[in-house]
Structure formats: C-alpha cells, structure tokens
Amino acid sequence: MDLWFTEKQTEDYGITAKITKTLHTEQTEFQDLAVIETNEWGRMLVLDGCVMTTIRDEFVYHEMIAHVALSAHPNPQKVLVVGGGDGGVMREIIKHATVQKAVLAEIDGRVIEVAKQFLPEIAVALTDPRVDVQVIDGIAHVKEHKEEYDVIIVDSTDPIGPAVGLFAKEFYQSIYEALKPDGIFVAQSESPFMHSELIQRVQNDVSDLFPITKLYVASIPTYPSGLWSFTIGSKRYDPAQIADEKRADGLSTRYYTKALHQAAFVLPAFVKELVKA
Amino acid sequence: MDLWFTEKQTEDYGITAKITKTLHTEQTEFQDLAVIETNEWGRMLVLDGCVMTTIRDEFVYHEMIAHVALSAHPNPQKVLVVGGGDGGVMREIIKHATVQKAVLAEIDGRVIEVAKQFLPEIAVALTDPRVDVQVIDGIAHVKEHKEEYDVIIVDSTDPIGPAVGLFAKEFYQSIYEALKPDGIFVAQSESPFMHSELIQRVQNDVSDLFPITKLYVASIPTYPSGLWSFTIGSKRYDPAQIADEKRADGLSTRYYTKALHQAAFVLPAFVKELVKA
C-alpha cells in the first residue's frame, strides 16, 4: 500500500511525498504534531499539516536564519530564539564561538521532546551548556527583558494559530526594546511568490522601528514555492555586511557562505519591488 | 468534482495543483502534450507529465536563461534557441536591440502551434520579423552551421525522451563549433537538489570544450525543488559580468536585474562543491 502525505500549501496547490513510516503523531496543547519518514526528504516534522523541517533540506533554513544576523554582528554574545523548538537554529548559533548564552523560548515543550527523540541531528544543540531551553511564551519573555540580547531570531511557524502574535508590530516593538543598542533581529517571513502582502506588512512594521531593515532570500525546497524570505532589522550594523570575516570563515556550513551572505540580499526584481520604501 | 494534476518529480515526491480546466491534450510525434488551467499557476504547459512552464512563474526561467548570456555578450546579433517551442525565450531575446536574427530550432511543431493558441503571452515573439521559426532537429542544425552564432541557448525538456541528445557531449562540441570565436552557450541543467550528478557531468563536459564554464541558479517554483541551474560556456567573455550596462539597464524584466546577474553565480556551498574543478 502506497501512503502519500500531501501538504496543501495554498487552497489550490501543494506538495506530496511518499511516506515510508509514521513515526509519531499527537495533539499537543498548541498544535497537531507529527514526524513522518519519507524517501525523498527523510524524516519530516509536520505541525498542523505544514512541513516545518526535513532531514534533507533543513540545513538551508537553519543556516540562513542564523548566520546572516550573527555574522553581521561583530560580537554576538547573548542570543534569543523565539520558537525553533526543533533546535536547528541553536545548532547553528553555537557554531559562533562568541556566543556565551543562547536562550530558546519555545511555547510548545512537546516540539522539543519529539525533536530530541526523532530528529536528533537537528536537536543536537539543545543539551549544550551554553543553550538555555525554556518552555515559555516568547512574547512574554521578550516583553520582560530590556536591552539584553545582541541577536534575536524569530523561528516561527506560519502566521496562523499559535504564531499569529509573532507577526504583530507590538512584538517587533518588544524585540527592539529587548535588544542592546547595537542589536539585530531576524524573522522568517514566508515566500515572495506566495505571501507578498505579509512580506510588505512585516517590512513596513519593522522599518518603522529599526533604522536598517532589509529582506534576504534562500532556496528551501519543501517550503511553499521553494523561495523563502527573511526580514532583518538592525539598530546599527548593515546586515548585508559581514562584521568578522574570520569568524564567518570558520563556519562549517552546507548552504551559507560569505559570498552568499551578501548575494542573498540581491533580490529578484519583483521581490525588490515588494520591499522598496 | 475536484480535479488535481500531480507531477511526480521523482519516484517519491511531487507537486499537485487543482485544475479548473483541461484546455488541450494530444499525443504528438514526439511527446504527450497538454495545456491545463490551474488556479494557482494559471495555464500550464505539460509535456510527458512534466510542467514545462506556467503563466505565473514562466518569467523566471525565460528571463534567466536568456538575459545572462545575452547581457554578457557585448554585441549579440545572431542567436539560436534549440527547443523552446513555447516562445518564452524568444520573447526575452528580442528585448535586446542588438539582435538581428534569432533562429528557433524546435523539433516538435505541435508545441509551437499549441503555445500560440493557448499561451499567447508566452508565444508572442514567434511572429516577430527577427524570429525565424524552424521545425527541425536542433542537433542536426547545430552540426550544419559553423562559426555563425553569437549566442546559443538550449531550452530543453528533461534529459529523457526526445531531449537526451541535448545533454550529450557531442552536442556541446557541435555548439562550440557553431558559435563565433567569442560566442556564449547556455543550457538549462536541472536542479542542484535533485540532479547533482547531471549537473556535474554537464559541467565537466562543457568545461572540456569552453575556456570559461560557470553555473548559475534561479528560483522557479514549479520546477523540482524550486531551485534551478543553468550551465554557461563562454569562449571569451566572463558570463558573470555584464558587457553592455546600458543595454542591460533597458531590459524590462520581473526577475532579472543587473545586480542579480552577478548574484546568480554566487552558489550555495553544496552547489559550489558540485561544480568545483
């Protein structure tokens, strides 16, 4: 019997992958959580029917959400990740030797536990001594901390259900205040092909708060359209420039490179049009 | 009744789109040809079950296969397209005022006729006086012409069925000979995520013949993985550099920009690794 998992990425379009095994399914307090095994992408973490990450292509998302902001900062010591319970972003963050403490604020503790069990390659950093895993509401955490973080990374699900508040301007305001005077913030901001209005709104909201706001992109096959965007807000440093060449050189990566750091900000014409001031 | 078209891009993975109408289906002398209408991507040209182009995302492929080679050449006057019966590449080629003649060598005349009927936005240039549409075998045409073309573009289907010969080293040899002493050749060369061995073989074969061989990429949502590669072989000019800034400035495009021309050659680490000498 052939079993296929289909994610309807829109009402009218989706991706479909042959399943070799369903490793786990549960309804958590916050969402429907599953881990399935596919031939094409290996194990997949699926939340509310949407692919969050897969063993085969997770490196793109995790490297590109972490290393751009961290490499643009000359000395990132304290980092916050909101969401990101699978641990992939943390694995990349602790590749930066400057980082002394990285806090994970994940609202759904089950994501952390299931990732540790079924996606150990991704969750590997969650037991690192520099990583402080907290099962808390990231929105509240950000509100309660002022001028504390060098870099804040918002690794959210899509802007439906539990993640709606992670795309709100009030949240970006709290992030601004939780950052040190030279801090940098980055959030995944969906697909330029599929979610242009969201990208525009996020860009407007972030640029109302941060003196420097930019968009960059990366190719993630299992995300809608395969082209994904990241919105970055910076208080002082140009996020398209690498602050510490030697540190960036030392990163062991499969997608991110120093040259690609800058090239990722060179947008296709229709995307450039979306975010022009 | 909901009808969905599913393309199995590999044995274990595919894309699926809701169909609003089947506009045309036929078995030509060479392949199975269909035009279907979808909500998500508009009309789609489908050959042997594979999406060739869609109204909504065709601009990426057609701009990026045409404008990189043409902008890298200081004075492209005579251009050949092998394949490309839908006319999209021609539409982009004739945006360059230097072009005096562009020959289309398409083996399957039915693709041309069906594109004219159902995809007129894409086929629009096929009646341009500078365009010479020939229903012929491109491999034979290239063999019969020596030092004649400034730019040769291979807009092929996947390397199965009628297009196998378009990925053969003998064909690249004929292309080299059909180009003038400063000619440039470009071919679509599939996905770095899905077809790494093909990309490596094409890169090796082309670099055995051309003094300068490079790979560049673009994001095409309806192609496997969403990340697509193009292999470019050049006799004299660096294909990553724009030869005539003013001409490139004048192009009306939705994906290609002068900055993106160069950025498209900045490859993700795993892709760079694939094509390193």
Tens of pLDDT, residues B192-227:
999 999 999 999 999 999 999 999 999 999 999 999
Quick one: pLDDT band at residue B277, thresholds 50, 70, 90? low
Say whether both B37 and B92 belong to one domain. no
Query: Is A14 a known ligand-binding residue?
Result: no
CA distance A11 to chain B (A): 8
Cα atoms found within 13 Å of the Cα of residue B183, Cβ hemisphere only: 25
| Phi, psi dihedral angles at A152 (to 5 degrees) | -120, 130
Average of per-residue pLDDT across A83-94:
98
Contact B270 A263 (CB under 8 A): no
Residue B199 φ then ψ, to 5°: -60, -45
Q: Any binding-site annotation on A26?
A: no
Is residue B127 domain-shared with residue B30, that is, in the same domain? no
Q: How far is CA A54 from CA A14, A38, A222, in A?
A: 16, 9, 8
Residues B77 and B49 in one domain: no
The domain boundary, picked from B54, B69, B91, lies at B54
CA distance A30 to A215: 29
DSSP secondary structure letter of residue A161:
G
- Chain B residues in contact with A262 by the CB 8 A cut-off are 266
In terms of domains, do A243 and A128 share one? yes
Instruction: Report ipTM for this prediction.
Output: 0.96
Specify the number of domains making up chain A: 2
Contact present, B239 and B72 (Cβ < 8 Å)? yes
Q: What pLDDT band is residue B63 in, cutting at 50, 70 and 90?
A: very high
The sheet carrying A179-188 orders its strands as A131-135, A101-106, A78-83, A149-155, A179-188, A227-234, A212-219
CA A183 → CA A50, A159, A212, A231, A275, distances in Å?
31, 24, 11, 14, 22
Cα separation of A184 and B150, whole Å? 48
> Do A80 and A93 fall into the same domain?
yes
pLDDT higher than threshold 90 for residue A163: no
- CB distance A13–B10 less than 8 Å? no
Average pLDDT, chain B: 97
Annotated binding site of B for S-methyl-5'-thioadenosine: 31, 106, 137-138, 162
The pLDDT value given to residue A277: 63
pLDDT tens per residue, range A206-256: 999 999 999 999 999 999 999 999 999 999 999 999 999 999 999 999 999
Three-class DSSP labels, chain B: CCEEEEEEEECCEEEEEEEEEEEEEEECCCCEEEEEEECCCEEEEEECCEEEEECCCHHHHHHHHHHHHHHHCCCCCEEEEEECCCCHHHHHHCCCCCCCEEEEEECCHHHHHHHHHHCHHHHHHHHCCCEEEEECCHHHHHHHCCCCEEEEEEECCCCCHHHHHHHCHHHHHHHHHHEEEEEEEEEECCCCCCCHHHHHHHHHHHHHHCCEEEEEEEECCCCCCCEEEEEEEECCCCCCCCCCHHHHHCCCCCCCCHHHHHHCCCCCHHHHHHHCC
Q: Which of B8, B16, B194 to mutate to test the interface with A (most CBs of A within 10 A)?
A: B16
In chain A, % of residues over pLDDT 90: 96
A22 and A135 together in one domain: no
Cα(A73)–Cα(B126) distance, integer angstroms? 52
The answer to the question of whether A162 is labelled as a binding residue is yes
Residues A47 and A65 in one domain: no
pLDDT on residue B131: 98
Question: Of residues B57, B108, B150, B155, which has the active-site annotation?
Answer: B155
Residue A246, pLDDT score: 97
- The CATH number covering residue B114 comes to 3.40.50.150
Question: Could you tell me which residues of chain A have a Cβ less than 8 Å from any Cβ in chain B?
Answer: 6, 10-18, 38-41, 57, 60, 193, 217, 219-221, 225-227, 253-257, 259-260, 262-263, 266-270, 272
Do B111 and B7 fall into the same domain? no
Q: Is the pLDDT of residue B163 over 90?
A: no
**8 Å CB contact between A103 and A81:** yes
Residue in chain A nearest B12 by alpha carbon: A18
Tell whether A9 and A79 lie within a shared domain.
Answer: no
CATH code where residue A33 lies: 2.30.140.10
Specify whether the CB–CB gap between A187 and A80 falls below 8 A.
no
Contact (CB, 8 A) for A227 and A217: yes
pLDDT of amino acid B1: 83
The closest alpha carbon to A239, from A69, A85, A104, belongs to A69
What number is the average pLDDT over the span B58-85?
Answer: 98
Residue range B154-161: mean pLDDT, rounded: 89
The reply to whether B48 and B98 lie within a common domain is no
CA distances from B232 to B76, B142, B202 (A): 15, 17, 10
Cα dihedral angle (B125, B130, B136, B139), rounded to 10 degrees? -100
Does residue A150 share a domain with residue A38? no
The answer to whether residues A14 and A140 belong to one domain is no
Residue contact B16–A16, C-beta within 8 A: yes
Range of the structural domain that residue B11 is part of: 3-54
Each residue of B8-24: pLDDT tens digit?
999 999 999 999 999 99
| Residue numbers of A annotated as active site | 155
Let me know how long chain B is: 277
pLDDT band at B162 (very low <50, low <70, confident <90, very high): confident
A62 among annotated binding-site residues? yes
Which chain A residues touch B6 with a CB distance below 8 Å? Answer: 16
Report the distance separating Cα A42 and Cα A51, nearest Å. Answer: 12
B88-118 tens-digit pLDDT: 999 999 999 999 999 999 999 999 999 999 9
Identify which of A137, A82, A80, A135 has the alpha carbon closest to the alpha carbon of residue A111.
A135
A40-61 confidence digits (pLDDT tens): 999 999 999 999 999 999 999 9
